[in-house]
Amino acid sequence: MRARPGIPLLEKGFRPFFLLGASFATLAVPIWITALEVGYAPGGAFGAMQWHAHEMLFGFTTAIIAGFLLTAVGNWTNRETATGTPLALLAALWSLGRVAVFFAERAPRMAALVDAAFLPTLAVTCALPVLRTKNRRNYAFIGLLALLACLNAASHWAALERDISSVRTIHALALDVIVIVIVIVTGRIVPMFTRNATGADAIRGLPLLEKASLASVALLTISDALPGSRVPSGVLAALAAALLLARMANWGSRHALRDPLLWILHAGTLWVPVGLALRAGAELGVALPPSSALHALTAGAIGSLTLGMMARVSLGHTGRMLKAPQSMTVAFACVILAGIVRVAAAFLPGSAYLPALEVATLLWSLAFLLFVVGYAKILVSPRV
C-alpha cells in the first residue's frame, strides 16, 4: 500500500521511526536519571536499571533498525515494505510499547504483550518482500530480527517471574545480536560511502576479514548463550576486537575527516572494537570495570552510528545533498563525548560518578535533540 498523498511522513519507514527514535533518545535517559535521583522505578519488575537497558536495546535501537530496514528492504527488493496506514500502525505499535513498558507496574502482562508484538510484526513486514524476491543476501537480517523478537519476549517473561539475573543475561545477548547487525551494516556501507564521497579507489572492504569479523562476533554471541567460564568469551572478544580493527585498515578513515557525515560513521564503527577490547580485558583478569565495555558498545557505538546513519539516510532518501547542517557537526561531537564520559564514569570514584552520568546525559540528549530540531522538517516534508 502506498502512502496517501499529502502525508510525506508515511512515505518511507525511516521518516517516522527516525523521528520517533531520536525523540525518545532525547527524553529517555534524562527520565532514567531523574528516576534514579527521586527513587522512582519505571518498568515495573524490570526496575530502573533494567528498564534503562531494555529501552536502549528494544526501544531506541530497534526503532532505528526498523527505520533503516523498512527503507533498505524496499531498495534491495524493489518492493515496498510498509507505507501509509500500515507504516502508521507499525509506528503506533512501537510507541505503545514504550508507554506500556514505562507503566508496566500497572498492567505487567499487558505491557509485555504490547511491547513483544512489535519485533515479530517488523520481522514479518521485512521478510515478505525479501522472501518473495529470494533476496538471499539479506536473509540474515530476518533471522536477526526474529532472534531479537525472541529475546525481547524472554526478557519480559523473566521480568514477570522476577528473575532479574536472567533479564540481565538476556539483555547482554540482545546487545551481542545488535553488534552482529552493526558489523554487517558497517562492513557494507562505511567503505562504500567513503569511497563514493572521496573518490579514493584504494578504499575497500576485504571479504576475508569481513567474514572473519562476522564469524568472531557470532561465536562470541554463542559463547555468551552457553553457561560456563567467561574465559572463552574473553578470548573471543579479544579476537573479535582485533579483527574488527584490522578490517578498518583499508576503509580510508583519514579521508573521512573532512566530512562529518563520514567521520561519525568511522568513529561509531571504531567504538565496537574498543568496547570488545575493554570486555576482553575485564573477563581475562585486567582490572577494568565491566560496565566500561557495555557503555562503549551502547552509548559509544550505538549512539554514534544511529545518529550518523539517521543524518545521512534522511538527506539521501529525501533527495537532498549529502551535506549535514552545521548543527549536526555539533551533535556528532556531543554524542562521541557522551560515550567517552559514560565509559570514563565507570573508572571514577563514587562521589564523581553521578555528576559524570549527568554530563553524559546532557551531551547525549543534546545530540539527539539537535537531530530532531534540524531534521523534523525534512522528515515530514515531501521529497525534493
pLDDT in tens, 209-250: 999 999 999 999 999 999 877 789 999 999 999 999 999 999
Residues 188 and 137 in one domain: no
Q: Is 325 left (phi over 0), alpha (psi -120 to 50) or beta?
A: beta
Residues 157 and 186 in one domain: no
Q: Which residues of the chain have pLDDT under 70?
A: 1-6
Give the C-alpha separation, 162 to 145, whole Å: 26
Residues 98 and 137 in one domain: yes
pLDDT attached to residue 300: 98
Give the C-alpha separation, 10 to 6, whole Å: 9
Residues 73 and 132 in one domain: yes
Residues 209 and 145 in one domain: no
For 273-277, the CB contacts below 8 A with 24+ separation are 273/240, 273/241, 273/242, 273/244, 273/245, 274/241, 274/300, 275/300, 275/301, 276/217, 276/220, 276/237, 276/238, 276/240, 276/241, 276/244, 277/237, 277/238, 277/241
Determine, yes or no, domain membership for 299: yes
pLDDT attached to residue 129: 96
Task: Look up the domain containing 214 and give its range.
Answer: 182-364
Domain boundary among 133, 162, 191: 162
**Residues 315, 331, 294, 162, Cα dihedral to 10°:** -80
Determine, yes or no, domain membership for 141: yes
- With H, G, I as helix, E, B as strand and everything else as coil, classify residue 259: coil
Determine, yes or no, domain membership for 62: yes
pLDDT attached to residue 164: 96
Q: Are 308 and 287 in contact (CB under 8 A)?
A: no
Residues 158 and 193 in one domain: no
Residues 100 and 131 in one domain: yes
Cβ atoms within 10 Å, residue 209: 17
Residues 228 and 156 in one domain: no
Residues 271 and 337 in one domain: yes
Q: Are 322 and 197 in contact (CB under 8 A)?
A: yes
Determine, yes or no, domain membership for 374: no
Cβ atoms within 10 Å, residue 50: 20
Residues 84 and 141 in one domain: yes
Q: What are the CA-CA distances from residue 318 to residues 264, 321, 346, 379 (Å)?
A: 20, 9, 40, 8
Residues 105 and 3 in one domain: yes
Task: Give the chain's domain count.
Answer: 2
- Locus of grid cell 569481513: 210
